[in-house]
Amino acid sequence: MTGSLVGLIYVFNRQALQLFLQDEAAIAIGMNINHITLWAFVLFGITFVVSGVVRSTGAVMVPLLTAFLALWCIRVPVAYYLGNTFGLEALWWSFPIGFCISIVISVAYYVWGNWRSAKMLTPEPGQAE
C-alpha cells in the first residue's frame, strides 16, 4: 500500500505539491525533498508492520528502543553533523538513513530475537478482563 502511494507521488510529484503550494521555488524544494525521502517511507512501513507483529505478543521494549535509536541516536545526529557539510539536505537524508537502520534492527530482532517467548499480562483472579 505504501509503495503504491509513494509511486503515485513520484509520478505526480509536482501536481501533489501544487495542491498545497503555489510558489514555484517552494514546489521545487518540495520536489527535491520528496525525491530524497519518499522511497524511504516504504522501509518505514515495513518496519512499522514488523514492529507491530512483535509488539502484539507483548514484547514492546525492543521496538520502542529501535524507534528511539533510529530517531535520537541516528537521525538527529546525522542531520546535525552532516549539516555542516551538506546544509539543509542533510536533514532530509537523515530520514532514509534512520529508516534503514530501523528496518535492519527490527527485522534482525524479528528473525533472531526472543520476542516469541514474550507473554501478555494475565488478569488476576476476580479482576475484570
Domain extents in the chain: 1-38, 39-116
Q: Rounded to an integer, what distance in angstroms lies between the CA atom of residue 91 and that of residue 98?
A: 11
pLDDT tens track for 16-61? 999 999 999 999 999 999 999 999 999 999 999 999 999 999 899 9
Q: Rounded to an integer, what distance in angstroms lies between the CA atom of residue 98 and that of residue 76?
A: 9
Copy the grid coordinates of residue 125.
Answer: 483472579
Name the band, by pLDDT with cuts 50, 70 and 90, for residue 128. Answer: low
Length of the chain counted residue by residue = 129
For the chain, report the end-to-end CA distance as a whole number of angstroms.
35
